[in-house]
Structures are given as C-alpha cells and as structure tokens.
Structure 1
Amino acid sequence: EDVRRDYSVWVLTLAIVPQYLLFMLIGFEAYTLSLVYMGDYMKRQNWGEFILTVELIVHALCSIGIYLGRFLRFNSWDIVTNPNVLVSRTLEDLTAKGPLLVMGVTFITVAILYYLAKWVTLAIAHQGRESDRLESRSDDSSTSQELS
C-alpha cells in the first residue's frame, strides 16, 4: 500500500506551496536580520569597513553549504560522523567546474536576494522610526498646548 498522500492540484497550489513560500520567506528574513545585526555590531566595534567583506564571505559559505546539502546530500551531523568523506567530497567538488558553477549561481542569487531583503527591512525599520518620531512630536505639541 502506498503510504504517500496524493494531494489534489488545488491543495498543492492553494495550501502547501504558499505555506512553504512563507516558511522560506521567514527563514531568509532571519538570515537578513542576522547579517544586519552583525553589521551594526561591527560598526559599534569600529570595524565598519569590513562589513561588505564579511557579508560576502558569509554568502559564499552559505552557497557552499547549500550545495553540500542539496546536491551532495550531506547533513550537519556529517561533520562529526563522516568528516573524512565530507572533506574529500567537498575538496573534489570545489575543484570541478560544474559544482563551482552551481555554487557561483547560488552565491549570486543569495547575495541579490539578501541586498533586496536588507533594503526592504531597513526601509520598514526607518519608516517605523519616522512614525514614532512624528507621534512623539505631536504628543509634545499637544502637551505644550494644554499647558498654555
């Protein structure tokens, strides 16, 4: 007996696909916020000139990790359980053209999506700060009018 469920096209289109897209969006926003907070920390430590370099290194490492997980089917526990296989396969694939192309396209995709998400996130944060400032000004002016 087949234990897989056959979902109708409508269930897939209207329920499951949007759910996965939402989870992917939430996960990528968490990635974006993590790097934004890291950049803020680096600015406070007077390392602001290295933010772009560190962001690009993180994107490159994520691209390698995505390749290892999606194409070579490694998991995080393989670092402990199969370190020799993990290292040898990674070094093999880092010197081959096909895998490098996949990692390069993944890097470009992650970088572009990150900078778009960062722009939107910072714009929303700026808009929130702007509205808070306007509210505090209106509260201050109404308080001063009440005192007069």
Structure 2
Amino acid sequence: MGLLEQVAPNLVDVLRRDAWWMGWNTFLAWIPVLLACLLFRGQRVSRSPFWWAGLTLFVLFLPNAPYVVTDLVHLRGDILMADRGGPVVTAILPVYAVLIGSGFLAYYLALSAALRHLARVGLGDWQGRVALAAHALCAIGIFLGRWARLNSWEPVVDPHATLERIFVHLTWTWAPVLILATFLVTWTCHFMTKAIAEASFKATLKSARHLHTTLTS
C-alpha cells in the first residue's frame, strides 16, 4: 500500500471532523484581504464616509487572520482521536499547518496593502508604528475572541453588551500576560510569513525574468 493510500483515509477523517470550523475561520481570516483590496487603492486619503466605515470594518476583522493560531487548542483533541502516531504526522499536523499558514498569509497581505497605501499618501514614516499598532490591536482582538468569545461584528450590532464584555475581560488579572504573549506570537509569525512570502516572490520574479531572457534570446 502506497503512502498516499495510507494517508488519504486519515486526511479525510480530519477534514470531515474539522472542515466546518476550519473553513469558517479561514473565510473570516481572508475578509480583511478583500477589504484591503477595496480600500487601499487610491493615491490620497479618502474623505468618503463609506471609506472610513470600510476602514472600521477592516480594523474589526483584521484580528481574524492571525486568530487561527489559537485554533491549536483543537490539536490535542485531534491527536487523541488518532489511532497511531502516523496519522498525526501525515494528516493532522499538515492540515493545521495549512490552516495557520493561510491565516498569517492573509494577515501579511492585508497589512502590507495598508502599509503600501500609507506610503502612497505620503505617510510612509508611519509604517513601522502602524504595523506595531496592528499587532497590538490583533493581540487584543485575539484575546477577546478566544477568551471572551467576541465576534468581529458584535461591536456593530450590540455595542453596549460588547463594551461590558470587553471591560470585564480586559480587567482580568491574567489579561496583560495573555495579550503580551499573543502579541509576541503574532509579531513573530508575521515576521516569518513576510520573510517567506517576499523571498518566494523574489525567487519567482527571478525565474520569470530568466525564462523571459531565455525565450527572447
């Protein structure tokens, strides 16, 4: 029996068990990318109220992208349901790696679009501070999403109850520690994703230029 025939049934089991919540969280993670494509196209700061409303949605949904790293809480349960060590390495871990990689790729793309827009409108000096602010915002958002079970749309549809829940959880004794840890994880994973994505882009561009040179010579 080939490796694919051994892995396929285990992979199907994992996807059947986790497809719904993984698919939903991946969908939420890529909403900021869609919003970024719509928002960050101009050459100047927009004064449209619709643009600023879209920016508010972008800020609210941005933490959904790095939030996927907290889905590792489900990993232990999937490992316990595995029959032996093989499915963990060949099926469960790759699925979680794709999930988390997809989320941080979405985060990198969305944040990069926002930072490039700052440069286009003459605010390039703010890029570093905005990036750090985004990581901090996402750390708080991830904390509220995982521990307060707060959804991105709740501040809009139920602001009063949302503010109460935010206050209660942010005043929890362990909140600063968890938020700081989440910030460090978010910053580190974004740094790694950025390095891999930009290196891959440069390698692809170099290969494309080499192929173009070969075909035209």
For structure 2, the residue ranges without an aligned partner over 5 or more in a row are 1-16, 18-79
1:92-107 pair list within 5 angstroms: 92-107=168-183
2-structure distance, mates of 1:44, 1:134? 30
SS at match of 1:75: coil
131-140 or 118-127, which moves further after superposition?
131-140
Q: Is the 8 A contact 1:36 1:118 kept in 2?
A: no
SS at match of 1:9: coil
Alignment partner of 1:134 is 2:217 = no
C-alpha distance in structure 2 between counterparts of 1:98 and 1:118, whole Å: 30
How many Å apart are 1:96 and its aligned residue? 4.2
* 1:84 maps to 2:194: no
- Preserved CA contact (<8 Å) 1:63 1:104: yes
The residue aligned with 2:127 is 51
TM-score w.r.t. length of structure 1: 0.77
**Do the aligned partners of 2:108 and 2:190 also contact (CA within 8 Å) in 1?**
yes
Matched, 1:9 2:83: yes
Of the two structures, which has the highest relative contact order with CA contacts closer than 8 Å and spacing of 6 or more?
1
Unaligned runs of 5+ in 1: 143-148
The alpha-carbon deviation at position 95 of structure 1 amounts to 4.0
Q: Check 1:81–1:9 CA distance in 2 against 1; reply closer, same or farther (3 A cut).
A: farther
**Cα offset for 1:71?**
0.6
Partner residue, 1:38: 114
Equivalences, count: 137
In structure 1, C-alpha distance between the alignment counterparts of 2:136 and 2:211, rounded to whole Å: 42
CA contact (8 A) 1:59 1:107 kept: yes
Opposite residue 34 of structure 1, the aligned amino acid is A
> What CA distance in whole angstroms lies between the structure 1 residues aligned with 2:210 and 2:92?
41
- Which string of whole-angstrom CA distances, capped at 9 and with x for unpartnered residues, describes residues 29-51 of structure 1? 11112222222232222222111
Q: Which has the larger radius of gyration?
A: 1
- C-alpha root-mean-square deviation of aligned residues, in Å? 2.4
- The separation in 2 between residues aligned to 1:134 and 1:81, in whole angstroms, is 53
